[in-house]
Amino acid sequence: MRRIPHPIPYQGSKRHLAAAILPYVPAGRQRFFEPFSGSAAITLAAADQRLAQHYVISDVLAPLAEVWGMIVNRPQALVEGYEDVWLSQVDDPAGTYNRMRDEFNRDHDPVKLLYLLARCVKASVRFNRYGEFNQSADHRRLGMRPSILEREVAGAHALLAGRTSVLACDFRDVLAKTTPRDIVYMDPPYQGTTNGKDQRYLAGLPVGELTEALRRLNDRRVPFLLSYDGFRGKQRYGEDLPAELGLRRVLLNAGRSTQATLNGKSEVTVESLYLSPALVDTLTVKGPALQPPASFPVFGRGSAAAPSRAARVIARSGDRTPARRRRWAAGHPARRGPNGRPDAPRSGRPLGNALTLNGTRRGLDSACRSW
């Protein structure tokens, strides 16, 4: 498999398992849905192999979905915005990070989220109980260089533009749009990452709610794949899913655990991939054998250049003049009001759609935003 672009640093990304998961995705589907998209690693890999006619990327974290909307529709605006923020940090990286985090918690600007993800500890989102991003900066590095981001965004844009819809939605609202002619890949938050004072993701997901949604997909014969639980050494993570769902479980070798290696242990992580009954029927009839491939290539860093068509898109991104960089360094005044004071936070730009914190659906409107 070719190297797949990876524009959004995101803890929990499935890019290292893409080559192991894709053999279970049948070709020729009408639409490929990824309703817990995060960095959308599997969508990008599927698009690289042209497995579907259309792709739907969706996440409950609206600014993250908006980053995807920009990658698909306005890549140069994203790259320029990121470069401006990134350059503005040179004299005071720690102060800039804190300022961007404060601003993001007010305005939910997708460019700021991308910068925070590039700079924060382990590229891992964390939200407090008020839904505020509260992850700290990793002070050992400045985050992905703009030239690297430009290359990754260009590559992703080339794969997705013209054939992708982006939504900010609760996964249930996305699943309601699927039909048996589609294919759905889901990588929901694990139980262990959704509870407690600080949450890894904006919204948690009780296993019962997930199970109910899977049951409905089965009833409608919509084929799906689900990454859910696994093992690290002898330690198991994630709960068992009910047997009556009829899912076929495949174990994927996710490689050595970095943390265990640091601790002098040599533990392999094994992740489960569940295949729905409708999918198993499809694969049995015309797909690959239901055995995982013997070895799983791990993508190397920077091993291939971005596609040239994409490079041309980014090349049209216009001048980034020193004056413009200085304006950003002086406090991002492009977003200031006419009297020089910062504009009020953008109202009507919610952080999450259709779901409140802690995984319940209280009080938020269920309309999806789309790009």
Ligand X SMILES: C[S@@+](CC[C@H](N)C(=O)[O-])C[C@H]1O[C@@H](n2cnc3c(N)ncnc32)[C@H](O)[C@@H]1O
Q: What 3-state class would DSSP assign to 55? A: strand
**Least distance in Å: CB of 254 to ligand X?**
12
86 touches ligand X (CB under 6 A):
no
Alpha-carbon span 80 to 63, nearest angstrom: 17
Alpha-carbon span 8 to 61, nearest angstrom: 14
Tokens read off for 362: 């209280």
Alpha-carbon span 191 to 250, nearest angstrom: 20
- Residue number of the CB closest to ligand X reads 38
Task: List the one residue from 24, 33, 36, 68 that touches ligand X (CB under 6 A).
Answer: 36
Task: List the one residue from 25, 56, 60, 158 that touches ligand X (CB under 6 A).
Answer: 60
CB atoms within 10 A of CB 95: 10
**Least distance in Å: CB of 65 to ligand X?**
9
**Least distance in Å: CB of 328 to ligand X?**
28
Alpha-carbon span 353 to 171, nearest angstrom: 10
Alpha-carbon span 261 to 280, nearest angstrom: 36
113 touches ligand X (CB under 6 A):
no
168 touches ligand X (CB under 6 A):
no
Binding mask 196-235 for ligand X (x = CB under 6 A): -----xxx-x------------------------------
**Least distance in Å: CB of 57 to ligand X?**
10
10 touches ligand X (CB under 6 A):
yes
171 touches ligand X (CB under 6 A):
yes
Task: List the one residue from 150, 187, 229, 271 that touches ligand X (CB under 6 A).
Answer: 187
DSSP assignments along 116-133, one per residue: HHHHBGGG---B-TTS-B
CB atoms within 10 A of CB 209: 18
Selected range binding ligand X among 30-38, 128-136, 152-160, 277-285, rule: CB under 6 A: 30-38
170 touches ligand X (CB under 6 A):
yes
- Cβ 83 vs Cβ 320: under 8 Å: yes
**Least distance in Å: CB of 242 to ligand X?**
19
Task: Report the length, in residues, of the chain.
Answer: 371
152 touches ligand X (CB under 6 A):
no
Selected range binding ligand X among 150-158, 181-189, 290-298, 300-308, rule: CB under 6 A: 181-189
143 touches ligand X (CB under 6 A):
no
Nearer to ligand X, 68 or 82 (CB): 68
283 touches ligand X (CB under 6 A):
no
Site size with ligand X, rule: CB under 6 A: 22
Q: What 3-state class would DSSP assign to 186? A: strand
CB atoms within 10 A of CB 284: 11
Task: List the one residue from 61, 72, 114, 118 that touches ligand X (CB under 6 A).
Answer: 61
Alpha-carbon span 182 to 224, nearest angstrom: 9
- Using N-to-C axis directions, what is the helix angle for 110-119 and 62-73, rounded to 10°? 100
CA proximity to 119, closest of 137, 107, 102, 104: 137
User: Where along the sequence are the contacts to ligand X (CB under 6 A)?
Assistant: 10, 12-14, 35-36, 38-39, 41, 59-61, 170-171, 187-189, 201-203, 205, 355
